[in-house]
Amino acid sequence: MRVGLLRERITAGLETAMRNREAEAIALTADRTKAMGVALVGMPDDAEIEVDALEVSTRAAATILGFHPEHVRRLIRTGRLRARRVGGDYRMILDDLWPLLEARYREPGRRRLRVRR
């Protein structure tokens, strides 16, 4: 998919969510839009990408999740977030961040994530 087309679809999705009257739906869509926007930073509009294979760095994941980069590394080391080592840092697939984003909107008591192996 072209990056420019993906940006247009993300914008349209956010506009649709804004017409929705449910605060949680708007917030979750805004978080997902922010995540995709951070993953697409610096890419030209005519570039071809695989949406399922979008990767982000530790720092970008921290920006998306609203955590400190060290906390993201801790999540990786404890197995709560999958990542691969590249040089001196980690890279993670954007799709692996969705459960952490969605956990914010679950009812209290059901927010724990299971350790992935």
Indicate yes or no: pTM above 0.85: no
26 Rama sector, left if φ>0, alpha if ψ -120 to 50, beta otherwise:
alpha
Residue-level pLDDT at 108:
67
CA atoms within 13 A on the CB side of 29: 18
Render pLDDT for 55-70 as a digit per residue (tens, 0 to 9).
999 999 999 999 999 9
Q: What proportion of the chain, given as a percentage, has pLDDT over 90?
A: 66
- Dihedral of CA 71/31/10/50: which sign? positive
